[in-house]
Amino acid sequence: MVKIALDPAMYHADLSVADEVRKAAELGYEYLELSPRADFFSWHQHPKADDAAIAEVKQAMRETGVQILSLVPVFNWASPDEQERQAQVRNWRRLLEIAAELECPIVNSELSGDPNDPVRSEHAFYRSMAELVPVFESYGIGLNLEAHPYDFAELNDDAVRIVRGINKSWVNYLYCGPHTFHLSDGAGDVRRMMSYAGDRLAHVHIADCFNHRANVGNRYIVNPPGADVRIHQHNEIGNGEVAWDEFFATLRETSFDGVATVCVFGWEEDADDIHRRMLERVRKELC
């Protein structure tokens, strides 16, 4: 049975994590996937949640029955700079303590590193994994990895091979729908990419986006031209060009029974209605 989770990113500015748990329940979600926020864990920084913050969230989970199913830290554990890499491994250790306290069974993350220094980044990544494997295993927490735009590996197939290279049954692949065109360099071949992941596909992120390669690259204009950046979106289904019929059909055909997270960003003025519509669509397609 597919578990449908809410990424509450559009509520971070106004709600505590405990109130985001309550919001998920109000919207009809049974699961929450907590993305970075300054008072709990943020990008590349040591997590800030203390015992009191964790206790407040656990109380909200008891009240509502909503489970925090996954955390989404982004720590640059693939940094070619050794001091930075070590600091990020320390961040990971604290993050896993928090996940264990929340009885959170899954952590999702990115490969990180530097796309302009991919070989040294890959070396750093596997070194960090070697140090953290015993920690993950001591807590019994699973890890799902994705290739994010501007990671040292940005393409679907490269990321799947990196996951397989770790060779641990509890380390699997996350296919991120709104990254579809970055994962394929504009091809958007959803079925092929998801099929390539095969038995390692354990988690999907669901939001739409437009193809940054279409119209000779003029969908998005960056100044100065050629700047070393990546642009993408996390829109409601229908506000983009991802092949959703193909996406959902592939999951059904492969009897996908992992986690599907609704992760629309940037539309706070309509957040509640968007999340309800997205939940209805995902339930219709996968449940």
Report pLDDT for 139: 98
Report pLDDT for 219: 80
pLDDT below 70 — which residues of the chain? none
- CB half-sphere exposure, 188, CA atoms < 13 A: 16
Distances (CA, A) of 111 to 62, 69, 158: 33, 20, 11
Report pLDDT for 212: 78
Instruction: List domains and CATH numbers for the chain.
Output: 3-286 (3.20.20.150)
Sign of CA dihedral 93, 94, 96, 101: positive
Report pLDDT for 277: 98
The candidate with the shortest Cα–Cα distance to 169, out of 126, 127, 140, is 140
* pTM assigned to the model: 0.96
Report pLDDT for 238: 97
Distances (CA, A) of 77 to 61, 182, 229, 269: 30, 21, 20, 35
Sign of CA dihedral 105, 234, 241, 224: negative
- What residues are paired with 4 via a beta bridge? 260
Report d(CA 34, CA 51) in Å as an integer: 17
Residue 33 CB partners (closer than 8 Å, separation 6+) = 5, 6, 7, 68, 69, 70, 71, 72, 108, 259, 261, 263
Radius of gyration of the chain (CA): 18
| SS3 label, residue 108 | strand
Q: What element of type H or E holds 73?
A: none
The candidate with the shortest Cα–Cα distance to 163, out of 117, 198, 204, is 198
Report pLDDT for 193: 98
Report pLDDT for 227: 87
Report pLDDT for 151: 97
Report pLDDT for 231: 84
Instruction: Determine phi and psi for 41, rounding to 5 degrees.
Output: -155, 140
Cβ atoms of 224 and 166 within 8 Å: the answer is: no
- Separation of CA 227 from chain center: 25
Report d(CA 275, CA 7) in Å as an integer: 9
The candidate with the shortest Cα–Cα distance to 9, out of 154, 207, 182, is 207
